[in-house]
Amino acid sequence: MTALTSHLKLLEAESIHIFREAAAQFRAPVLLYSIGKDSTVLLHLARKAFWPAKPPFPLLHVDTTWKFHDMIAFRDKTVRELGLDLIVHTNHEGLARNINPFDHPPSVYTDVMKTVALRQALDAGGFDAAFGGARRDEEGSRAKERVFSFRASGHRWEPRRQRPEMWQLLNGRLGKGETVRVFPLSNWTEGDVWRYIALEKLPVVPLYFADLRPVVARDGQLIMVDDERMRLEPGEVPQMRKVRFRTLGCWPLTAAIDSDASDIDAVVEETLASKLSERAGRLIDHDTAGAMEMKKREGYF
């Protein structure tokens, strides 16, 4: 375990403060639960913020139907054990049109199955605020995000129209048609997330730990074969390799890394020593310069 953990208590307190401010100011919040390590920390902090009461909002998972099987199993177990309300939403129009990560470019697939799906779910639930696990250290446009990120009608993010946030004061008074994305982990880094998971002994999806898994190497990225829907190129044969994931999304679009880190302490050590940023393994972020900014403007969180 690394020495620098004392700042985690400061980050924890800041996040709890944000959760409470949002719960007090918004009529119908929801927590976007995407099952990964950030969502795990987000959910844990939500439980701490309202303890001994349960978090006063449901969880929402946008299921593209291409999540790793281990993720879905972990999601259902977590919700059952903690006795939480979970809403699962899939874009059925997209499903009917067979929008999938093999036949469509990542930008189209992500827009239909994630961004549009999220908008549908938020509109259907009448939610005025959605907690997300985004961190400012992830990517350039996220480095400029507010804690309360305002979205105009249609969930559009206007970077130039964001509200100034001064001191600890969070102004959640909504204008007409506005909704808010709330980011309690804004000031956390990937290293902080892992150290906190270790410190609090939080269970995470096993895919984060190294194990022998069937993978194919494509364009320098390791893609895991999670089920029979995998389309192999001519001559491609899945190989068993000891790999793990730094970030979890839809399996054909999330690359694994070679690793021997099979427990939490090893993952913390590997993360802090890593020479690549976490999103290097997210194929959707590399389409064009400013790819994430474009997605956010369209309503991606």
Partner 1 sequence: MNLAALEEAVRPELDMALAAKTGAMLRLLTCGSVDDGKSTLIGRLLWDAAGVTEDQRAAIALASQNRAINGEKIDFSLLLDGLQAEREQGITIDIAWRYFETPDRRYVIIDSPGHEQYTRNMATGASHADIAILLIDARSGVKRQTRRHAAICDLVGIKKVVLAVNKMDLIDWSEAGYRAIEADFRALAQSFGFAEIVSIPVAALTGDNVVHRSSRMPWYSGPTLLDHLESVDPKVEPLDAPFRLPVQLVLRAYDDFRGYAGTVASGTVNVGDRIVDARSGLGATLNRIATMDGDRASASKGDAVTLVLDTDLDISRGAVLSELARRPVNADVIEARLVWLSETPFDPEAGYLLRTATDLTPVTSMSVSALVDFETLAASPAHACGVNDIADCRILLGRPTALDLFRDLPLTGNFVLVSAIDGATVAGGVITWAQAGAAAVGDNVLVLNRALLAHGICADLGDSPADNVEFQRRAQQVALLLRSAGIPVLIKL
For the CB of residue 176, give the shortest distance to partner 1 in the complex, in Å.
7
For the CB of residue 8, give the shortest distance to partner 1 in the complex, in Å.
8
Tell me the backbone φ, ψ of residue 270, rounded to 5 degrees. Answer: -65, -40
Query: For residues 103 and 178, which CB has a smaller minimum distance to partner 1 in the complex?
Result: 178
Q: 83, 167, 201, 235: which one contacts partner 1 (CB under 8 A)?
A: 167
What distances in angstroms separate CA 47 from CA 16, 83, 138, 291, one per listed residue? 9, 11, 24, 33
Q: Does position 82 bind partner 1 by CB under 8 A?
A: no
Q: Which residues of 65-84 are buried (b: 16+ CB within 10 A; e: fewer)?
A: ebbbebbbebbeebbeeeeb
For the CB of residue 239, give the shortest distance to partner 1 in the complex, in Å.
25
Q: Which stretch binds partner 1 (CB under 8 A): 107-115, 222-230, 260-268, 285-293?
A: 285-293
Of 31-50, binders to partner 1 (CB under 8 A) are: 47-50
Q: Does position 3 bind partner 1 by CB under 8 A?
A: yes
Query: For residues 152 and 230, which CB has a smaller minimum distance to partner 1 in the complex?
Result: 152
- For 50-61, the DSSP string reads HTTSPPSS-EEE
Total residues at interface with partner 1 (CB under 8 A)? 59
The secondary structure of residue 176, as a DSSP letter, is T
Strand ranges (E), 6-64: 29-32, 59-62
> Could you give the residue ranges of the DSSP H alpha helices within 56-208?
69-82, 92-96, 106-110, 117-125, 190-200
Q: 34, 78, 100, 186: which one contacts partner 1 (CB under 8 A)?
A: 186
Distance CA(284)–CA(12), nearest Å, equals 30
Q: Which residues of 9-31 are buried (b: 16+ CB within 10 A; e: fewer)?
A: eebbebbbebbebbbebbeebbb
Q: Does position 227 bind partner 1 by CB under 8 A?
A: no
Note whether 233 and 266 are within 8 A (CB): no
Q: 93, 103, 123, 168: which one contacts partner 1 (CB under 8 A)?
A: 168
Query: For residues 4 and 217, which CB has a smaller minimum distance to partner 1 in the complex?
Result: 4
Distance CA(224)–CA(245), nearest Å, equals 10
For the CB of residue 174, give the shortest distance to partner 1 in the complex, in Å.
6
Site string for partner 1, 130-149 (x = CB under 8 A): ------xx-xxxxxx-----
Q: Does position 17 bind partner 1 by CB under 8 A?
A: yes
Query: For residues 65 and 277, which CB has a smaller minimum distance to partner 1 in the complex?
Result: 277
Q: Does position 285 bind partner 1 by CB under 8 A?
A: no
Distance CA(173)–CA(140), nearest Å, equals 27
Q: Which stretch binds partner 1 (CB under 8 A): 33-41, 96-104, 126-134, 159-167?
A: 159-167
Q: Does position 273 bind partner 1 by CB under 8 A?
A: no
Tell me how far the alpha carbon of residue 67 is from its chain's centroid: 12
Q: Around 96, how many Cα atoms within 13 Å sit in the side-chain half-sphere?
A: 3
Q: Tell the residue number behind the tokens 């996220």, with chain if given.
A: 142
Interface residues toward partner 1, by CB under 8 A: 3-4, 6-7, 10-14, 16-17, 20-21, 23-24, 47-53, 136-137, 139-144, 159-160, 162-169, 171, 173-176, 178, 186-187, 189, 191-192, 274-277, 280, 289-290, 293
